[in-house]
Structure formats: C-alpha cells, structure tokens
C-alpha cells in the first residue's frame, strides 16, 4: 500500500496540504505538517494528490511492503 510522508526537515508549514486535505494531514505542535494515520483508500489517494500541491516537495511517496 502506498502512503505519503511529510519530511519535516523540508516542510515550511505553508498549510496547503492540511488546508486542502484536512482528512489526510494535520498541523503538528511545531507548526509543520504531519500525515495522518489509518487513511481510507480514498483518503490515501487524496494524500497522493497533495504531493503536487506542496511548494517545497516535502510530501513524499512511501512504498511499504510487508
């Protein structure tokens, strides 16, 4: 299953991801974005769309194989 992850070393906290996809991302205590856990398949797809709206490329696709 594909999942996205925010690299907080790159994120500038612009809010585009959690503004547009609040089901998928949230603001962390440090003002930076964090991906939410346990997304539905539909939400996971939205989270992947957010990769394209991040101005600094902080949202990255993660491929997990168990």
Binding site for ligand SF4 (CB under 6 A): 6, 11-17, 33, 54, 56, 58-59
For ligand SF4, the closer CB: 12 or 65: 12
Least Å from the CB of residue 45 to ligand SF4: 17
How many Å from the N-terminal Cα to the C-terminal Cα in the chain? 9
For ligand SF4, the closer CB: 14 or 44: 14
**Beta strands of 1-66 (E only): which ranges?**
2-6, 25-27, 33-35, 59-63
Coil, strand or helix: which one is 60? strand
For ligand SF4, the closer CB: 1 or 22: 22
């Amino acid at each position: 299953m594909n999942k996205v992850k925010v690299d907080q070393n790159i994120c500038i906290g612009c809010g585009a991801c959690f503004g547009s996809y609040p089901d998928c991302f949230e603001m962390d205590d440090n003002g930076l974005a964090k991906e939410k856990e346990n997304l539905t398949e539909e939400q996971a797809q939205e989270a992947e769309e957010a990769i394209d709206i991040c101005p600094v490329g902080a949202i990255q696709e993660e491929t997990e194989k168990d």
